[in-house]
Amino acid sequence: MCNETEESADHILVDCAYAKKVMEGIMRWCKVHIHMEDLQAVSDVLNFANQWGTCTKKRKIFMAICYSTLRRIWIARNETVFKKNRLPPEKVIEYVNSVTFLWVKNRGIKMELIRANWSQCPFFF
Ligand SMILES: [Zn+2]
């Protein structure tokens, strides 16, 4: 994505400036405070999510959001490399927002969620 270093999973998904921009937006949306410098590898993101907060339900949602974010960054990377189509980080954040809404509402956790609240913060319920 940035051509600044050799591509590794940790770089592409977490440490690249592009990935950091996406993750930063996601954390802002979630109102989760973290120093972005503390996230350098996929395992840092997953460990953080896995231990975050005190509410199991919220943690499950946060985990789903983190997985979804990593997945979307990977898709965006492939779009850039194979289709020469570079999605703005804001677009990736939007995708994560709408896809995880459907996941949480209809699949994993099955909760009554209101889209407008979700878009403000996924933990208003
Ligand atoms: Zn990079």
The alpha carbon of 6 and the centre of ligand 1 are apart by a number of angstroms equal to 8
Supply 71's token pair: 């997945």
The alpha carbon of 64 and the centre of ligand 1 are apart by a number of angstroms equal to 24
pLDDT tens figures, 1-26: 787 788 899 999 999 999 999 999 99
Number of neighbours of residue 17 by Cβ within 10 angstroms:
10
**Three-state DSSP state, 8:** coil
Confidence band, pLDDT 50/70/90 cuts, at residue 106 = confident
The alpha carbon of 60 and the centre of ligand 1 are apart by a number of angstroms equal to 29
Is residue 30 within 8 A of residue 121, CB to CB? The reply is: yes
Confidence band, pLDDT 50/70/90 cuts, at residue 97 = very high
The alpha carbon of 83 and the centre of ligand 1 are apart by a number of angstroms equal to 17
pLDDT tens figures, 31-67: 999 999 999 999 999 999 999 999 999 999 999 999 9
- pTM (predicted TM-score): 0.93
